[in-house]
Amino acid sequence: MCGIVGVVAKSNVNQTIFDALTVLQHRGQDAAGMVTCEADRFFLRKDNGLVNEVFRTRHMKRQLGNMGIGHVRYPTAGSSSSAEAQPFYVNSPYGIALAHNGNLTNTPDLREQMRKENLRHINTTSDSEVLLNILAHELQQIGKLKPTHEDIFAAVKAVHTRITGGYAVVAVITGYGIVAFRDPHGIRPLVYGKRETDKGTEYMVASESVALDIPGYTLVRDIAPGEAIFISQDGDVHTCQCAENPKLTPCLFEHVYLARPDSIIDEVNVYKARMRMGVKLAEKVMRERPDHDIDVIIPIPDTSRTSALEMAHHLDVKFREGFIKNRYIGRTFIMPGQTQRKKSVRSKLNPIELEFKDKVVMLVDDSIVRGTTSKQIVQMAREMGAKKVYFASAAPAVRYPNVYGIDMPSATELIAHGRTDDEVGEEIGADWMLYQDLDDLKDCVKAGNDSVTSFDASVFDGQYVTGDIDEAYLNRIDAERNDDAKDGENKPGSNENADLHATI
């Protein structure tokens, strides 16, 4: 899960990209980066940290040009070192910078192809750098001094035939424009919009529609699975279907947790989808315990608030804010390592005793992944005097690794893996554990767009839509990307490159 943005405008785009990245900050808090282009020069700034930490006034003054791309990152493939921060850059052909959201599932084979067949050096462990070099190689094969949009689309078609996984990509080509494309399954989201100015029409592509809203762009539509869009430096727009057999199977977890509620993804309003999740949870309560004794429903801020409110409304139970969130603590789920997650929970949430004391409390969260946070929150509720603590998840049990760009690589770190719902409840200390049914969750999203008929729901059902995932692959990524590996990477001294600002 990362956030990407690309802008072609009639004046400097540095502030627009900065604003968009700030809005997409929820998609990655590990690193941020920006490349802008003026004439035949790139201007790059990237580093570890939040957007407003990476880009200071002195950096923004150097980011010249009327087109550029940006990225916010959290590590899935690769390490959390600032050397892995995006965008990445190659100087041949033309000069290309690229940012990527997702994860390639055939990266080891691609690395070998790059080294042995394409004679290209990959400097980091990031699959995004591999992807950039593949795109660069395919553009080089065209062999033109001035490529047309047809040439660029031909290169994207070749890229699709070589890579597998979930990916949304934005790249800027020096002096030509921006190209963006989405994987043939549409797993990772990508939209584009435009705005009218006195100087002409300006365009933006981004991971979520909310990134378009703040700078005043109007959503045009989602990029279709397998589709590419090219926006020339002069503002001409071209689109092309570049995959042979595209099929929309978007990531279901985007609607549960990853996306902002004010976004629209694949024509589905995320906020309304989460409202429907709360209704479905209420219906399940009434099926399983029509004589329930719930006194109060309390959300675990922030993502679950919408579902919890609807759940309370349909059960005719009080809704209360029982936890106060420290706004200066990042999203626990996307912190790179279990040690950091454990430390952050108590400093992130503080309970209000009067909302718990002598009450039967139903806590509602968007999902339960590792269970560490949930266990501590249940314990907080008991310490505040709750008579009973129930726990509801707006998502089904997360039992399988994610391989398409979400940090769930190890089945052994998922609390629901190998456990029943009741056993999960016992593990986190809840008196009753209530999970959303998978079919109900799918219905909640499909209700917003009936043309979406299937999903990547692999974290819930273990079915991987790209068809190339086997036990050996899962074992390999478990060893490479589990929390023990990340905790080792985050030890003092592991981040050697403090400032990667460059003018290219």
User: In angstroms, what CA-CA distances link 84 with 5, 180, 472?
Assistant: 18, 21, 25
Determine whether domain 3-247 maps to CATH 3.60.20.10: yes
| From 11-20, 150-159, 409-418, the region with the lowest mean pLDDT | 409-418
Whose tokens are 């996984």? That residue is 165
Strand intervals (E) in 25-87: 31-38, 41-48, 67-73
Give the architecture (CATH level 2) of 269-326+346-450: 3-Layer(aba) Sandwich (3.40)
Q: What is the pLDDT of residue 54?
A: 97
Question: C-alpha angle 111/115/116, rounded to 5°?
Answer: 115
Residues in a beta bridge with 98 = 88, 171
Percentage of the chain lying above the pLDDT 70 cut: 90
Confidence at 493, pLDDT banded by 50, 70, 90: very low
Peptide bond into 250 cis (omega under 30): no
- Alpha-carbon dihedral 211, 459, 395, 30, rounded to 10 degrees: -40
The pTM assigned to this predicted structure is 0.91
Q: 239 - beta bridge partners? A: 229
CA distance 88 to 34: 10
Runs of H (alpha helix) within 429-489: 438-446, 458-461, 471-481, 483-489
- The pLDDT confidence band at residue 478, using thresholds 50, 70 and 90, is confident
Which one, of 25, 433, 70, 438, lies nearest residue 255 by Cα? 438
Query: Is 412 one of the annotated binding-site residues?
Result: no
Asked about 242 being catalytic, the answer comes back as no
3-state secondary structure of 340: helix
| Interstrand relation of 388-393 and 360-365 (parallel, antiparallel or unpaired) | parallel
Token couple for 322: 């029982």
The structure tokens listed for 401 are: 């690794």
Q: Do 3-247 and 269-326+346-450 share a fold?
A: no
Q: Which DSSP category does 183 fall into?
A: -
- Structure tokens that stand for 31 in this block: 């690193």
pLDDT at 485: 57
Establish whether 164 is an annotated binding residue: no
**How does pLDDT run across 291-327, given as a tens digit for each residue?**
999 999 999 998 999 999 999 999 999 999 999 988 7
State residue 418 phi and psi, 5-degree precision: 80, 5
Category of 186 on φ-ψ map: left (φ > 0), alpha (ψ -120 to 50) or beta: left
236 marked as part of a ligand binding site: no
* Per-residue pLDDT at 49: 95
What percent of the chain is modeled with pLDDT above 90? 83
Q: DSSP letters of 12-28?
A: --HHHHHHHHHHTGGG-
Contact 459, 406 (CB under 8 A): yes
Domain boundaries, the chain: 3-247, 269-326+346-450
Alpha-carbon distance of 29 to 37, in angstroms, equals 25
- pLDDT value of residue 492: 42
Q: What pLDDT, on the 0 to 100 scale, is given for residue 237?
A: 98
Per DSSP (E only), the strands in 375-430 are 388-393
Q: Residue 302: what pLDDT?
A: 87
pLDDT per position as a tens digit, 3-13: 999 999 999 99
Q: ω before 87 within 30° of 0 (cis)?
A: yes
